Amino acid sequence: MKSFILLCVQIILAQSKLHPQVITDWNNLQKDFIESCSKEANLDPTIPPRILEDLYMPDEANFQCYIRCVMRNNKLILPDNNVNAKELAEVVHITPETAMKCIKSAETETDVCRKPYLVGICCIESKFETQSCNS
């Protein structure tokens, strides 16, 4: 059921575009880690640049581990494998409340790679909601 909901979200998001600054900020966040995190996660290195530009966010283990690696390297993952809410809010340009909401939405996930992925999906959804409100 979760996979179906994520698929629906991705279809809806695919019909929209994120603000160019959001894409630039994400690309800056991952640029130093594309090669190493792609290798660590066994992910095709041509996929990361497509994440926000094409809204390509497959619900697959390799991709999830890539997201975790990027977040870990940017100090968004704490030693206990939870997401750092304060850093997340600052880096992703969301409110602390939104960061906590997204972290809470994934708190029951036990897979260390899938948890940051779910938090990331929530953050992207919140960026679309904010853009819609500010349009």
Has residue 125 got a pLDDT over 50? yes
pTM: 0.78
- Per-residue model confidence (pLDDT) at position 27: 73
Query: What's the rounded Cα separation, in Å, for the pair 27 and 6?
Result: 22
44 pLDDT tier (thresholds 50, 70, 90): very high
Return the structure tokens found at 70.
Answer: 């990027």
DSSP-based three-state secondary structure for 83: strand
Stretch among 20-24, 50-54, 121-125 having the lowest mean pLDDT: 20-24
Looking at residue 14, what is its pLDDT? Answer: 45
CA dihedral 115, 120, 122, 126 (to 10 degrees): 160
Position 103 scores a pLDDT of 96
pLDDT of residue 135: 42
> Which whole number is the average pLDDT over 78-96?
90
In CATH, 17-132 is 1.10.238.20: yes
